[in-house]
């Protein structure tokens, strides 16, 4: 049988230029074999607990985009789908290099964000580990699909590099877009710096794929301030990666693409106007939000809790997420230097929201300051919706449109003095 095939090839390519046979007959040098063993091919699957918590780490001074690249390198990603938008482009370009080097199995540039987010849904439904990233207007364009991911119980990781979404057009950091993700049902983490962007992005894959969670996880950071600026990032060695996605151990089965007839839709639309269908959709939604709650355990385990508390007994407490945490840390330091009693609660996870942690952590506080990088103050609204005695909350300071927040603005709120 093989003789026949070979002969046919010969006939079709009388000059012996058949690319298939050329490849097969080419002699592979020892160097090439050695090269194959390096990089992606040399990576070993390790236990997530080991990779996140125990593996020895080395410090590097790199940008947020590079930090994300290092997370993806170790994430055993099956498919990454990109569509460029500033300030996200640099990261997905780095992921492109990872694809070229064999760390990411498949990668392509989709037609636009609706296409990206739809394709992510398809890939996740097929049971593979997926990644995409977007910013500001790109998130807005893709959001119809993004809202559908949690209900589809589709684990995937969405990196969000925040930028202005409102007109007039701007590319600067402003994290108002996170507020549009809060009611989807998916997990939403908000990283403070380059280190968080590495840790949260990598842990996000495992959190979302846990059987009791089975949800997409969005990891947001402030664009430019994190993505394009350098910071210290400690990472374990490159030769380790996460175990692959176990799609048979999730809340719902993945789509069977191998045994015909392939089911076009796993979850049939619930369109009939009868009581049964309402009940079905209601219970489905309840289950999505319950699944989100169940992700707490893994956020606690791998990211050290939904919040981080600095100076827990201080009378004035700052509550912040994302880049505002960094500014708040500096305000805490300056306050301490001035002999003022100021503490900080860093909110790492916006969904699930650390309701109990905030009620307890703020119980003693006389004044609560919530600095934000957006106009509407979505974090202040979230905090006020769960804590008692909301008159303690001093809204702001807020900057928006891409401004940075000088620590001096937070100090004004702390001291009550305006310079």
Summarize as ranges the residues that interact with another protein (CB under 8 A): 61, 63, 65-66, 87, 90, 171-173, 193, 222, 224-226, 228-231, 323, 326-327, 329-330, 333-334, 336-337, 403-408
What CA–CA distances, in Å, run from 305 to 108, 290, 302, 395? Answer: 35, 18, 8, 25
CA atoms of 396 and 376, how far apart (whole Å): 10
H helix intervals, 192-252: 194-209
Q: CB of 204: closest distance to another protein in angstroms?
A: 22
**Which of 68/387 has CB closer to another protein?**
68
Q: Which two tokens stand for residue 321?
A: 């997420």
**Which of 303/320 has CB closer to another protein?**
320
Q: Which two tokens stand for residue 307?
A: 């919040």
Q: CB of 267: closest distance to another protein in angstroms?
A: 42
CA atoms of 219 and 322, how far apart (whole Å): 10
State which H helix or E strand residue 68 sits in: helix 64-73
Q: CB of 64: closest distance to another protein in angstroms?
A: 10
State which H helix or E strand residue 380 sits in: helix 378-384
* Residue 147 near residue 351, CB atoms below 8 Å: no
Q: CB of 353: closest distance to another protein in angstroms?
A: 24
Q: CB of 406: closest distance to another protein in angstroms?
A: 4
**Which of 37/419 has CB closer to another protein?**
419
Q: CB of 291: closest distance to another protein in angstroms?
A: 33
Q: Which two tokens stand for residue 399?
A: 């900057």
* Residue 150 near residue 216, CB atoms below 8 Å: yes
CA atoms of 86 and 141, how far apart (whole Å): 14
> How many CA within 13 A on the CB side of residue 287?
15
**Which of 287/330 has CB closer to another protein?**
330
Q: CB of 370: closest distance to another protein in angstroms?
A: 17
H helix intervals, 133-252: 136-152, 194-209
Please provide the DSSP assignment of 314-355 as one string.
Answer: -SEEEEE-THHHHHHHHHHHHHHHTT--EEEEEE-EEES--H
**Which of 287/308 has CB closer to another protein?**
308
Q: CB of 235: closest distance to another protein in angstroms?
A: 16
**Which of 46/319 has CB closer to another protein?**
319
**Which of 140/229 has CB closer to another protein?**
229
**Which of 36/101 has CB closer to another protein?**
101
Buried b (16+ CB within 10 A) or exposed e, 23-36: eeeeeeeeeeeeee
**Which of 286/336 has CB closer to another protein?**
336
- CA proximity to 371, closest of 403, 337, 334, 339: 403
Q: CB of 196: closest distance to another protein in angstroms?
A: 12
- CA proximity to 75, closest of 128, 125, 116: 128
**Which of 171/251 has CB closer to another protein?**
171
Q: Which two tokens stand for residue 322?
A: 């994302």
Residues contacting 168, CB < 8 A, separation 6+: none
Q: Which two tokens stand for residue 22?
A: 């050329």
């Amino acid at each position: 049988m093989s003789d026949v095939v070979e002969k046919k090839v010969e006939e079709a390519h009388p000059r012996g230029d058949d690319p298939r046979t050329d490849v097969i007959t080419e002699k592979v040098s020892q160097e090439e074999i050695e090269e194959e063993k390096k990089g992606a091919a040399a990576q070993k699957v390790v236990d997530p607990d080991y990779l996140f918590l125990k593996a020895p780490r080395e410090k590097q001074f790199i940008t947020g985009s590079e930090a994300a690249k290092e997370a993806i390198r170790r994430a055993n990603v099956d498919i990454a789908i990109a569509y460029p938008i500033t300030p996200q482009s640099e990261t997905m370009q780095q992921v492109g290099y990872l694809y070229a080097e064999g760390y990411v199995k498949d990668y392509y540039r989709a037609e636009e964000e609706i296409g990206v987010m739809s394709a992510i849904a398809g890939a996740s439904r097929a049971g593979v580990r997926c990644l995409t990233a977007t910013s500001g207007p790109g998130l807005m364009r893709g959001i119809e699909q993004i809202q559908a991911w949690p209900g589809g119980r589709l684990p995937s990781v969405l990196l969000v590099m925040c930028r202005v979404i409102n007109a007039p057009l701007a590319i600067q950091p402003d994290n108002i877009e996170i507020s549009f993700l809060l009611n989807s049902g998916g997990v939403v983490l908000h990283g403070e710096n380059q280190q968080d962007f590495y840790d949260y992005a990598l842990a996000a894959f495992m959190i979302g794929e846990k059987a009791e969670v089975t949800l997409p996880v969005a990891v947001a950071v402030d664009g430019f301030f994190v993505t394009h600026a350098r910071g210290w990032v400690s990472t374990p060695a490159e030769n380790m990666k996460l175990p692959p996605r176990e799609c048979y151990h999730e809340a719902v089965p993945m789509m069977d693409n191998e045994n015909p007839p392939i089911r076009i839709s796993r979850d049939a639309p619930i369109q009939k106007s009868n009581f049964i269908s309402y009940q079905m959709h209601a219970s489905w939604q309840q289950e999505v939000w319950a699944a989100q709650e169940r992700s707490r355990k893994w956020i606690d385990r791998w990211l050290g809790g939904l919040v981080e508390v600095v100076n827990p007994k201080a009378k004035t407490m700052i509550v912040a997420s994302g880049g505002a945490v960094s500014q708040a840390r500096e305000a805490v330091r300056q306050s301490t230097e001035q002999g003022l009693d100021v503490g900080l609660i860093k909110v790492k996870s916006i969904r699930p929201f650390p309701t109990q942690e905030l009620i307890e952590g703020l119980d003693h506080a006389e004044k609560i300051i919530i600095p934000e990088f957006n106009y509407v103050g979505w974090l202040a609204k979230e905090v006020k919706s769960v804590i008692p005695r909301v008159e303690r909350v001093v809204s702001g300071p807020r900057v928006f449109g891409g401004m940075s927040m000088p620590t001096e603005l937070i100090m004004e709120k702390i001291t009550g003095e305006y310079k």
